[in-house]
């Protein structure tokens, strides 16, 4: 089982599945993703990752990791920001197919992300990326 990124919405939108694939991003090294995002002139995917502090505390404690007293608050982003991010990265990957070895798989994830962001925007619901292990 690998890592996958998915979109967590601030509230549920009836009929919207936010747990899209996201596996290509999980299978790409942090360094490669950050490099491509920087080259595209956008924030890193990791700038949009957040989690409920209590869920994070439980996860860290279960992994026997020392937990800070105060964990960061969960952050939420406007869907327009997510849509702009996916569109910019997608355009960059189309223009620079040699930029990253699994660009086609990343494109497929980006298309799924964009469709979710469009629905979240339509319903005015904020989001962040979450990680599934």
pLDDT tens across 3-42, in order?
788 899 999 998 887 767 688 998 999 999 999 999 999 9
* 94-122: average pLDDT: 94
**Mean pLDDT, rounded, of the chain:** 89
- Is the pLDDT at 1 greater than 60, yes or no? no
Confidence at residue 104, expressed as pLDDT on a 0 to 100 scale: 92
**Nearest Cα to Cα of residue 20 among 110, 123, 80, 99:** 110
- Is the pLDDT at 117 greater than 60, yes or no? yes
Confidence at residue 2, expressed as pLDDT on a 0 to 100 scale: 64
Whether pTM exceeds 0.85: yes
21/55: higher pLDDT: 55
Counting residues of the chain whose pLDDT is more than 70, the rounded percentage is: 95
Query: 83, 41 in Cβ contact below 8 A?
Result: no
pLDDT-based confidence at 75, cuts 50/70/90?
A: very high
34 contact partners, CB below 8 Å, separation of at least 6: 44, 46
Question: Where would I find the beta strands (DSSP E) of the chain?
Answer: 4-9, 127-132
81 contact partners, CB below 8 Å, separation of at least 6: none
Confidence at residue 64, expressed as pLDDT on a 0 to 100 scale: 77
Query: 128, 50 in Cβ contact below 8 A?
Result: yes
């Amino acid at each position: 089982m690998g890592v996958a990124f998915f979109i967590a919405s601030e509230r549920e939108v009836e009929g919207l599945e936010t747990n899209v694939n996201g596996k290509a991003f999980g299978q790409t090294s942090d360094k490669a993703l950050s490099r491509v995002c920087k080259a595209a002139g956008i924030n890193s995917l990791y700038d949009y990752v957040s989690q409920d502090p209590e869920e994070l505390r439980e996860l860290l404690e279960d992994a026997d990791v020392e937990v800070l007293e105060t964990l960061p608050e969960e952050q939420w982003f406007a869907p327009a920001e997510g849509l702009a991010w996916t569109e910019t990265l997608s355009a960059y990957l189309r223009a620079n197919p040699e930029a990253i070895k699994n660009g086609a798989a990343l494109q497929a994830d980006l298309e799924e992300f964009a469709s979710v962001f469009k629905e979240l925007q339509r319903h005015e619901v904020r989001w962040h990326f979450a990680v599934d292990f």
